[in-house]
Structure formats: structure tokens, C-alpha cells
Chain A
Amino acid sequence: MAGYQDYLLHLADNALILGQRNAEWCGHGPVIEEDLALANNALDLIGQARLLYQHVATVRKDGKSSEDLLAFFRDVPDFKNYTLLELPHSTAILPTARGDRDYAVTVARNFLYSALMVQVWAALTASNDAQLAAIASKSLKEAQYHLRHAHDWVLRLGDGTEESRRRMQAAFDYLMPFTQEFWTPSAAESAAVKTGAGVDVNRFRAEWEATVADTLQAATLKLPSSKGFVTTGKHGVHSEHLGFVLAEMQSLARAHPEAVW
């Protein structure tokens, strides 16, 4: 059963880490409407993570696990999110998230991830795990909106000014190789597919690639190669960036364990 927990944690960690990253824009958005839109997106994702962590805690039946424990008291190797989702909002290789945030990277990543998740959540509504199916049908609506929001910005910035086009292209050039991780199943994913609780992400590959190709073409952008090193975040082997994300996200909960307010 440890395998199935890891599958749920993979879904939950994806949502939490991207939610935490997108929340970094709170108070720093390019315009106030986008600031709110990104905060909404982050809260949707963190809400998905909460439901999934609560489900893991129930599945574990150890009486100790809770959403807070799973979010705040696990370390880097315990997190099963895609490496794509922990990267800073920047195309430069920087050691922290404090570099110049680039909205093009935010938009490109949200587009690449939500284009996958609309498929994943739609399929998971038929999961034989009724709780996961219920979480999926709630998350599907959120992912559909996230995709629309990101998609429209890819078009606007890609087919926008010379500067916005250059940055949008650079964002996709930088991020595309990280999407290879989607298509290399982990042991937890394969096990969950076998039991009928999970879905095989590779089923959606052709449609995802078509969505990405069509959108980039409409945005007058070049489809970059996704070749290169295949990252391993979902196996718990992460980039150097996740540690910084966790340090910021977890420090308060760890300094005051079980604090309530």
C-alpha cells in the first residue's frame, strides 16, 4: 500500500509546490488583476493538495498523519513532485527564488502543467478510489480555468511585443525538457494504474503534444526540443531549488509545531 500513498503524494506534492511557487507572485503581480488571478490559482492548487494529503492520512490509518505533517514535516527526498514545478520563475540558473521573476516562465509552466492536468483529472474522475475520483472532479474545473488563463497569456505574450515574444520563447525553450518527466512512469504510478486507482499519463501524451504545438503556433512561437536530461523529481531526486522552496514554506510550522491561531 506504500506504493499507492506515493501516487497520491505525487499528485498532492505537484499541487502544493506549484501552488507555493505561484503564491510568490502575491503582492508582486505585474498588474493587480493578475496578482489576484495568480493568488486564486495558488489557492486552488493548495486546496487540491490539502484534500489529497487528508486522503493520504486516511489511507495510512496510523492516527498520526495529517495534512500539516505531510506538507511541513517531510524533507526534499520525500517530495514526489515533478522537478518542473519547483523551478524558480526565471530562465536563469539561480540558486534561490529571489532572482528576477519572469512572468513568461510562470505562464509557460502553468500552461504546460495544466494542459496535462485537465486530462489527468478528467480520467481520474473514473478512478476506483471514490475519494480520489471526487477530488478529481473538483480539481478538473480548476485546472480547466488555469489552462485557459495560461493559454491566453501564452498567445498574448507570444504574439505581443518583441520583448514579450523573446521572453515567452526563452521560457518554453528552458522549460520544455523538464516535461519529459511526465512520460517516464514511476513505480508508484505503474502500481496505481494496475489497481485501477490511477491513470497512465502516457495515454494523454499525443493530445498534450498537440495542444502545446497548436498553442505555440498560434502564439507565433517555435516549438522547442524537449530533448535532454530527464529529471527525476517524482522519484524524490530533486533539483537544488526544492530545498529553498521547502525552507521558506516549512520554517514557520517547524519553529512552532502544532501551533494554532
Chain B
Amino acid sequence: MSTTALKDWPLWEVFVRSKQGLEHKHCGSLHASDAQHALQMARDVYTRRQEGVSIWVVPSRAITASAPEDKDAMFDPAADKIYRHPTFYDIPEEVGHM
């Protein structure tokens, strides 16, 4: 029975915002028949221990991901450019938190 459901139901990525957090964080995925269904299932699967105050669900197929084999070309060039970190600048008091 469950194999049928897994075949028929699309996959959804679940993002949960915690009480303290400002952003929704990816916490996992699940199979559901539609968006509302995915929201309900996310509530039951991922917020049982008061983890969240808000849930997003996104169809997994809507996500375009970088390929693992492109990792070197994509990310290594940033490794030797430490001057891009803002730690080299003095931030004036009146600007406050950035």
C-alpha cells in the first residue's frame, strides 16, 4: 500500500521556522498528494515537539540544485579571498548591528 502512495504522491521539501529563528530552515521531506496535505503531514511529522511556529512546503521538483561534481568549480575559487569577509572593516558605532 505504501509503495503505491510513494509512487503516486510527489515529494515535498519541508521548511520550519522555530520560535526563536527568523528564517525557515530545511528540516526534511515527505510524500503528499497536494500542498495542503503536505502542510498537514509536515505538522505531524516535523513539529511534534514544538519545533515550529510556521511551515513552508515546496515541491521538490521546483528546486534546482547545483551538481555535486561542480563543487570545485563553484565554490573553491572563493576559498583564497578572505578580504571578502567584512571583518577587515571598522563599522562605526552608529551603524549598529549589521
Given that A30-B5, A31-B2, A31-B6 are known contacts, is A152 also in contact with B37, CB under 8 Å in the complex?
yes
Contact between chains at A33 and B36 (CB < 8 Å): no
In the assembled complex, the Cα of A37 lies from the Cα of B9 at a distance in Å of 17
Contact between chains at A152 and B2 (CB < 8 Å): no
Contact between chains at A31 and B31 (CB < 8 Å): yes
Contact between chains at B40 and A149 (CB < 8 Å): yes
Q: B residues 29-70 with Cβ under 8 Å of A?
A: 30-33, 36-37, 40-41, 43-45, 48
> Which residues on the B side are within 8 Å of A148 (C-beta)?
40
Chain B residue at minimal CB-CB distance from A29 = B2
Chain B residue at minimal CB-CB distance from A36 = B44
Task: Decide if B98 is an interface residue (CB 8 Å cutoff).
Answer: no
Task: Decide if A156 is an interface residue (CB 8 Å cutoff).
Answer: yes
Task: Decide if B1 is an interface residue (CB 8 Å cutoff).
Answer: yes
Could you tell me how many residues of chain B have their Cβ less than 8 Å away from some Cβ of chain A?
17
Cross-chain contact of B37 among A32, A36, A40, A156 (Cβ < 8 A)? A156
Size range of the chain A interface in the assembly: 10 to 19
In the assembled complex, the Cα of A169 lies from the Cα of B48 at a distance in Å of 32
Given that A148-B40, A152-B40 are known contacts, is A33 also in contact with B33, CB under 8 Å in the complex?
no
Report A42-74 CB contacts with B as 1/0, cut-off 8 Å: 000000000000000000000000000000000
Given that A148-B40, A152-B37 are known contacts, is A30 also in contact with B1, CB under 8 Å in the complex?
yes
For chain B, what secondary structure do more than half of its interface residues adopt (helix, strand, loop), or is it mixed?
helix
Contact between chains at A33 and B41 (CB < 8 Å): yes
In the assembled complex, the Cα of A149 lies from the Cα of B36 at a distance in Å of 10
Contact between chains at A40 and B40 (CB < 8 Å): no
Chain B residue at minimal CB-CB distance from A145 = B43
Name the distance in Å between A242's Cβ and chain B's nearest Cβ. Answer: 28
Name the distance in Å between A142's Cβ and chain B's nearest Cβ. Answer: 12
> Which residues on the A side are within 8 Å of B30 (C-beta)?
33
Name the distance in Å between A138's Cβ and chain B's nearest Cβ. Answer: 15
Name the distance in Å between B7's Cβ and chain A's nearest Cβ. Answer: 11
In the assembled complex, the Cα of A40 lies from the Cα of B6 at a distance in Å of 22
Cross-chain contact of A156 among B1, B6, B33, B41 (Cβ < 8 A)? B33
Contact between chains at B6 and A37 (CB < 8 Å): no
Interface pairs (18), CB distance under 8 Å: A30-B1, A30-B5, A31-B1, A31-B5, A31-B6, A31-B9, A32-B45, A33-B30, A33-B31, A33-B32, A33-B44, A36-B48, A37-B41, A40-B44, A40-B48, A145-B43, A152-B36, A156-B37
If A31-B1, A31-B9 are given as contacts, then 9 extra A-B residue pairs at C-beta distance below 8 Å, sorted by A number, are: A33-B41, A36-B44, A37-B40, A37-B41, A37-B44, A40-B44, A149-B40, A152-B40, A156-B37
